[in-house]
Amino acid sequence: MPLIVAVDRPLDPGQVSRICEYADGVKVGLPPAVPRGAEWARSIPRSCNGLRILDFKLADIGPVMLSIVEPFKDYYDGFIAHSFIGSNGALIELKEVLDEWGAKLILVASMSHEGSREVYDRARMHVYEVIERVHPWGLVAPATRPGIVAELRARFPWARILSPGIGAQGARPGDALCSGADYEIVGRAITGSPNPVDAARRIRGEMENARSECS
Ligand code: BMP
C-alpha cells in the first residue's frame, strides 16, 4: 500500500490505529508533538503497522539533530531532515548514527508549496549533490509538481520517494505514484475529514486505481 498518513493534529492512538488499517505507515509532525509532548509522540507509532516516520524537519548541526531524535530512536523507523543544510557537520553525521541505530534518513529534496521554487528548486543541482553524498534511504518530493518527482526518480533510482501535497494542497491521489513515487503522504484530507477512516479507505482506493491505470 502506498499511503502514509500525516498526523499533524492531536489524534489519540485509537483514532490513528483505525485510520492505519488503510495505510502503510504514519508520519508524525511537530504541531501536535510540541504541545502533547514526547510520550504522545512515542505512543502514536505503536498504533500503526508499516513505516513509522518522525517528521521534525531537522535542519541544524549534526549533534543537535541527533539530540532531537535520540529520545525517539526505539519508536520510529525513519526521520526527516532538510537537505539544504548540507552534508559535512550535519547530514553526514546524522546519517552515520542513524545507520548505527538501523534507522532510515529521509531528506526533503523539494517542497510542495509555491515558495519551493524560490530556493529549493533553483538550487536543486546543489541539493542533488548533497543527496548523492549523503545517500539517504528516502526523499520527500512534491506531488504538486510531478515533473520533479519524475526527475528525482530518474536521477536517484535507489531512493524511496515519499510525496506530500495530495488533497488539501491540490494534487490528486496517484499523481505522484504515476510519476515514480513509492508513497503518497496525506494529512488533512484524512485527519480533517468528518470520518477519517472512510476518507483513508477512499483515498487509498483512488491511489490504487490511479496506479493500476498508469502502470
Ligand atoms: P496535508 O496533506 O495536510 O497537506 O499534509 C502534508 C504533510 O506533508 C504535512 O505533514 C507537511 O508537513 C508535509 N510536507 C508537505 O506538505 N510538503 C513538503 O514539501 C514536505 C512535507 O513534509
Q: What would the pLDDT profile of 150-187 be if each residue is shown by its tens digit?
A: 999 999 999 999 999 999 999 999 999 999 999 999 99
Is the separation of the CB atoms in 45 and 26 below 8 Å? yes
Check: pTM over 0.75? Answer yes or no. yes
41 Cβ inside 6 Å of ligand 1: no
What's the CA-to-centroid distance between 110 and ligand 1, angstroms? 11
* Nearest residue by C-alpha to atom 21 in ligand 1: 164
pLDDT of amino acid 215 = 78
What band does 131 get if pLDDT is binned at 50, 70 and 90? very high
Q: Check if 191 has its Cβ closer than 6 Å to any atom of ligand 1.
A: no
According to CATH, the topology of domain 3-214 is TIM Barrel (3.20.20)
The pick from 5, 7, 8 for probing ligand 1's pocket by mutation, whose C-beta has the most ligand atoms within 8 angstroms, reads 8
Which pLDDT score is estimated for 196? 97
Residues 6 or more apart from 49 whose CB is under 8 A from it?
20
Is 164 touching ligand 1 by the criterion CB < 6 Å? yes
Q: Which comes out higher in pLDDT, residue 1 or 99?
A: 99
Mean local confidence (pLDDT), 53-81: 98
Cα separation, 86 vs 103, whole angstroms: 20
pLDDT at 7: 98
**57 catalytic residue (yes or no):** yes
CA dihedral (191, 194, 197, 203) positive or negative: negative
Residue 100's contacts (CB-CB under 8 Å, 6 or more residues apart) are none
Q: Where are the beta strands (DSSP E) in the chain?
A: 3-7, 25-29, 51-58, 78-82, 104-108, 138-140, 160-164, 183-186
Question: In whole angstroms, what is the distance from residue 66 CA to residue 212 CA?
Answer: 40
SS3 50: coil
> Which atom of ligand 1 sits closest to the CA of residue 27?
10
List of E strands, 68-118:
78-82, 104-108
